[in-house]
Every structure is written in C-alpha cells, then in structure tokens.
Amino acid sequence: MLKTSFHFIGRLSTRTSQHVAGSWIMERMLTLSAASLRLPRCSGPRGELNGGRADPRNGHLYVMHLLLTHGADPNIRDGQGFNTLHLVTHSSAVMPLLYMLQQPVAVDEADSDGHTALMWAAYQGDGLSVELLLAHGASVTTRDHAGLSPLHWAVVKGSVVCIKHLLLAGADFNAREEQGKTPRDMADELKASAPLSRALQDANFNEYGQRVQASFSPRVTMGIIFAFPLVVLSISFSAFGILEWYFAWPLFLALFAAMQITTVKVLLADKPMADRVVTSPYFAAIISASLVIVAYAWLTRLVIGAPGHLVSQALFLASLLGCVFTFVKAIRTDPGYVPRVDAEEMKEQIEELTDQGRLNGTNWCIFCMVRKPLRSKHCRQCNRCVGRFDHHCPWIWNCVGFNNHRYFLLFVLTLIMGVIFFDRLAYFYIIENAPPATPGEGLTLCNISETMCRGAALDGFLLACAAWATLQLSWTFILGCSQLWQVARQMSTYEVSNLGRYGYMGGRGGTSLRDQSGAVRGSTVFVPMPDTEADFSHLPPPPGGGGHPHAHQHHRCGALGRICSALGAAITGPVFRLVGLDQFTKGRAVSGMARAGRDQNPFDLGVVKNCSDFWCGAPGVDYMHLYEVPPEGWPAYRRKLAAGGRGYVPVAREEV
C-alpha cells in the first residue's frame, strides 16, 4: 500500500487542495509505517521510481521535503537514468531546485545520455535555474555523450539569458562537439544568430567570444567621468556669454551628445551593455559638475553683485552646503544591504523556511542567497538585496534604502531650495546691474522675456547657469513631493508600484521566484532532449518555445499605431528614466498611488508617527532582520518596543 501511495502522491496535480491533502496523507502514512532510511521503489509510466522522486518533476517542494526528511534517497536513478536533481530541473521550479541543491547530491551528475542538470536548464531556457546551478558550482565545461557543452544547449534553445550567464561563468565559446561544431556554428545552422549576438553584447563580449577590455584603468576612467561634465558644462555656459544663442544652443547639444557617446562607447566599454550608464557614476558626475558651476557663479557674481539680500544669500549658502553634504552621504552610505550568511547558516534558513511552508521568492532571494526581510528587494543594478528598498537612483550612484533614505530626501529638498534661492539672487542681480533691454530685429530673447533679454546682455554665463538649475527644479520638485507623501504614508516607491501592479505592498505572491519574475515563460511541461546524434537543423522546438521559434505578435492598432507607440517609448522612456519620472509612469504606478490612500498598510502608524520614524529612526526596528508582521499588529508591536519589551520572536510552525 505504501508503494502505491508514493506513486499516487507523485502524480498529483498542482491544485492546492490535492497538494495539501496529498501532503497530509503522505505524512500520516509515513508516521504510521515508521518509514526511515531508504524508501522502497515503485514502478511508473517512465520507469522505476523511488519514493523521493515521484514529485520532483511536478515541483512539489513540500512533498519532496516530507519524503527526504523520512529518509528518501535523492541519488537513486529511475529507468531513464534521471536522479532527483535532474527531475527537479525539468520542472523549471527554482525553489525546489534550491532546496534539492542543499541535499547530498552531485551538482554535475549526468544522466544516461551524459546530460547534467545545467545542460537541462540551459536547453529549457531557464535562466533562473542556470544562475542557481552556477552559483552552486555547476561546471560549464562538462560534455554529454555527443560532445555538447551547456553553452551548446543554450544556443539550441536560443536563450539570451542562459547564454549570457554561461559566458560570464567562463564557458568556452570555441568548444567543439563531436562533429566539430562550435556554439557559433550551431547558431548559424539553427538561424539563431540574433540571440547569440544579443547575449554576447549583454555580457560585453565581442563576436569572437572574447571579453571587451577597458580603455583605461578604473581610477583614470573614474577621473575622466567626473571631469567630463565639468568641462562640457563650463564650455557650453561660457559660449552663451560669447556667441549668439542660435550658435550657443547647437554647440551645447553637440558637446553634450559627444560626452554621452564617449562615456558609453569608450569609457564604459568594458561594462555590460544592460544598465551600463545607470550603474556608473556618470549621472552623479553631472550633479557634481552642476554644483561646482553654480557655486562658482554665486561666488564670482551674486555675492558681490547682489549685496542687499543677505537673507537669500545665507539661505542659498546653507542650501548649497546641505546639498553637497547630503549628496556625498547618500552616495557613500550603505543603503542597507542585507548581510550575507555562510553556507551552514544558509542551509539552516532554507530548511526553516521549508518547514514553515514559506520557501518562495517572497522570502528568499536566489541571487543573493539570503532570506529577504519584509519591505526589501533585490536591486538588479547593485546585485544586492536592500532593506526597506525605495528605488535605485543613478543620480546618487547608489540604491535608496533604509540607511540612506533620509540623506537622499534631504539632498532633493536642499537642491530644490538651493535652485529657488539661486534663481532669486540671479533675478535681483540682473535687475540691479543689467542695462535696459534693447530689442533687435527678428525673434530674440527680448520678445520672450525682458529679464532674460537683460540677463543675456549682462552675463550669458549666469543666465545659462540659472536656466540649467531651473531645469533640474522640474523633476526634483515632483520627486520631492512624492517622497514626502510616501513618508507620511509609511510607504516606499517600490511598495507604491507593487500596489498598482499586484494589489498589495509586498509584491506578487507565488510558490517560486519564477512565478514572480516571469523569467521562464510558456509551458513548463517536460520535453525530452532531441537525439544528440541527429542533424541540428531538424531539432524540435525546446520546451516553452511554442511551435515556431520566431513567433510574431499581431497588434490591433495597425502600422501607424505601432509606429506611434515605438516613437513614444523611444522618446519618453529614456527622458523619464533620466529625470526620475518613470516611477510615476511605468507599469501601474499611478493606480498604485491611488490605491495607497485607501488600501490597508500594516506599517501605517499615522502621519505624525510615520514622519517621526523616518526622520528620527524607529527604535528597536531592524529592517535588516525583520521577517514577520507580528500577530498583534505593527502598532501594538511598536508600543511593546517603546515600553521596553523584546518585541516579536518568530517560532517554527507547530505540528498539526
């Protein structure tokens, strides 16, 4: 009866009711039979099965956990030569794979055809599983019986993400299989050159599979990046004081474009193409150069030229010093990276979450391999999990998290104040020192604004500085207002976005990170690998690929609609990302802000207390290790901490 039940549980569907019932039945049967050590085998439609391997292909994590805790052997092979690790990889379920990798299994164990788990993951286009296997030491140099490496199989699938991960892990781009074909040869034969080229570009490799080298040393590159904007802005603003505006504007745009191209194509050529600029100090260098030039204009012109406005002078100086200080602190302060743990503690945490039925992408990060605290998120640019994550800001060259959020908001607010008082002083300087406007022939600044006309005649450099500073006021004002509103609501930008996308602050739920990230699309049904000795031009489509490797999307808007959509995305997308307004437009951020006013927020303590916690700190709250909302609720928990209590201590789930 026990053998039959193992087989029955292994074939259960993924519906929740059956899963729970199956787990309960299995636990009772194992308890009654005092099962331990090795479980018996049973026959199935795919050959002999061991009790511990009836569920892996379906990704039933907690049934697997139950079987393994009662002595199931994960290394026994079935009739096709698959062990439990292979079958879990077939499921493309990353959390069961993570759990299985903590068991005594060989990560490079091959099946009867020589395929390792990494080869299967690469063939299925499962980027998360590939990255997880590589993090646990899977070899990129192993070959199957046909001489194919994991990189060959990733090329067969045409998976950009898998190819990229394997290249970065050191896969041999020139490895040849038995018939002498390299991954490039297979890509050409399968008409999959585009994914391979894209992967090479994303990984920052050239077409020959060699890593692109840096043009300068890191220190020299850093110095050039910070000096470049200062030189470009100085020359451009000086040109407005020397040349006519219709010459100065094209020069400014040309210099700025040259700086952008040189930075991306030369100075940062050794960085991966994805987020090449966002992860560099380029935007922070622009802010630094702007602060230096504005301070120079104030010292050389406004201090002497507008002496009767001491209050505005003092407020501008205070804003400037505060802006510089908080800007540097926001850059240099650890935003709140979740600390990594050693292998033993990591295994204990995984076992604990599995025992509690909570091993999923909401509670565990497979990239950092750490348990995720509440309100944290993995930052793709920093490649770290950040406590109470708000957003990644390229202007401060850092994430905005629990530790540096105050510095970031103070930087934005002091920047706004500084721009306002700088413009005020520049206005008084022009009014008190500039000659009367003398309109010329044709369209000039005098036809637009008399003050600007007089300012251009008096000091074009100062007018250009004021215009540049006012341009920054547009996005910083919106950003500052939204940040203050979120602070009053005890919410972060990330949580507001989640409200619009998923309906609640913590992001999308699910039993695996694959469900949340969408990294594996389409069907996850197991499809056998093709015969490795066959002609590769006749390979069937890999799992999840549909019937056609180059599926087309049909739009209802017609050609004109597609053109308009493409132009809109190409123009507004980079501009909004550049000035920080994308947080209000991407996804369903606007609806998230609307819902934030009426949906329940477990951390909301009222406007006064929320602001006090943000600016003065929340005593006793450690966002690096906050894993639970206490049963009594957040307000009661905070009152208990204020009274000197220990707070919430999580315990393991009780047996039922």
Q: What is the set of active-site residues?
A: 393
The one-letter amino acid code at 625 reads H
d(CA 350, CA 345): 9
- Evaluate whether 285 touches 229 at the Cβ level (below 8 Å): yes
- Evaluate whether 482 touches 391 at the Cβ level (below 8 Å): no
H or E element, residue 551: none
d(CA 316, CA 295): 10
Q: Are strands 370-371 and 377-379 parallel, antiparallel or unpaired?
A: unpaired
Q: Centre a 10 Å sphere on the Cβ of residue 550 and count the other Cβ atoms it contains.
A: 10
Token code pair at residue 7: 């087989």
Rg for the chain, CA atoms, rounded:
30
d(CA 531, CA 357): 39
Determine phi and psi for 211, rounding to 5 degrees.
Answer: -65, 135
Residue length of the chain: 656
d(CA 630, CA 640): 11
H or E element, residue 143: none
d(CA 177, CA 151): 11
- Evaluate whether 586 touches 592 at the Cβ level (below 8 Å): no
Q: Centre a 10 Å sphere on the Cβ of residue 525 and count the other Cβ atoms it contains.
A: 11
Residue 298 DSSP label = I
Determine phi and psi for 452, rounding to 5 degrees.
Answer: -65, -35
